[in-house]
Amino acid sequence: AICVMLTFGHTPTPMSSSPFANSASHALADKLRHAQRDLAQEWLNDLRAILPVATQDVFPGSQLLDHIPELITEIANYVGRPDNEAIAAKTLVMTKAAELGELRYQQRASVHQLLREYHLLGMVLEGFVAREVKKMGSAVDAVEALEVVCRVSEGIRILQQQTVDTFVTKYSATIERKTEQLRAFSTLISHEIRQPLGVLQLVSR
């Protein structure tokens, strides 16, 4: 609730007075960018810990892990931007989030899995920011640190929505295609059954 209020509940201030113009926010964004691979690996390790089956049964190949660092980089860029630049306006990262939805659909994941994966990614990134803020000490004030965490959370939420929307769209299209195939099959079977029944009725008469 605090994050939503900070993000949407105030009129953006000019760049010169915005907390995102301060060096601490840019420093945290740089730290996120430089740690993207390590954070992606930490995310995967956390995910492995809760998987009831072998990792390869859920994530065939290395494609999934290849997507995560790029998403982290764009979230980092979002952290360092002024308030008037939204992550949803970045075509590249939204495309990557959509590709992740298609990939997870091909890998036969579920919406629940996607939500869980993004939840863990959010925890990893927010935990990283918290650790870095602690290291920086007085170089970053509490309000700025909270705004950075909220920006990370908002970026995760927007990308998650894009991934889930793409996944559901692919799933719905498959259901529609399967339903149409089943309808056509039923029509064919009904026609084939009616033909011998007609012959039997004629013979019986």
DSSP structural state of residue 15:
T
Query: How deeply is 67 buried, as exposed, middle or buried, from its count of CB atoms within 10 A (0-12, 13-18, 19+)?
Result: middle
Identify the CA nearest to 22 among candidates 133, 122, 121, 126. Answer: 133
Report helix angle 23-34 to 36-50, nearest 10.
60
Residue count of the chain, please give it: 205
Identify the CA nearest to 59 among candidates 106, 97, 125. Answer: 106
Confidence band, pLDDT 50/70/90 cuts, at residue 141:
confident
As given in the structure block, the two tokens for residue 191 are 């026609």
What average pLDDT does the structure give for the chain? 76
Q: What is the per-residue pLDDT for 63?
A: 56
Which helix H or strand E contains 174, and what residues bound it?
A: helix 142-204
Name the more confident of 67 and 116. Answer: 116
| Distance of alpha carbon 77 from alpha carbon 71, whole angstroms | 10
Q: What is the per-residue pLDDT for 67?
A: 77
Whether residue 15 has pLDDT greater than 60: no
pLDDT in tens, 67-114: 788 889 888 888 887 555 666 666 777 888 888 888 888 888 888 888
Place of tokens 């995760």: 156
User: Model pTM?
Assistant: 0.69
Whether residue 47 has pLDDT greater than 60: yes
Kindly tell me the sign of the dihedral angle through the C-alpha atoms of 42, 163, 78, 71: positive
Q: What is the per-residue pLDDT for 57?
A: 55
As given in the structure block, the two tokens for residue 199 are 């012959």
Q: What is the 3-state secondary structure (H, E, C) of 20-86?
A: HHCHHHHHHHHHHHHCHHHHHHHHHHHHHHHCCCCHHHHCCCCHHHHHHHHHHHHHHHHHCCCCCCC
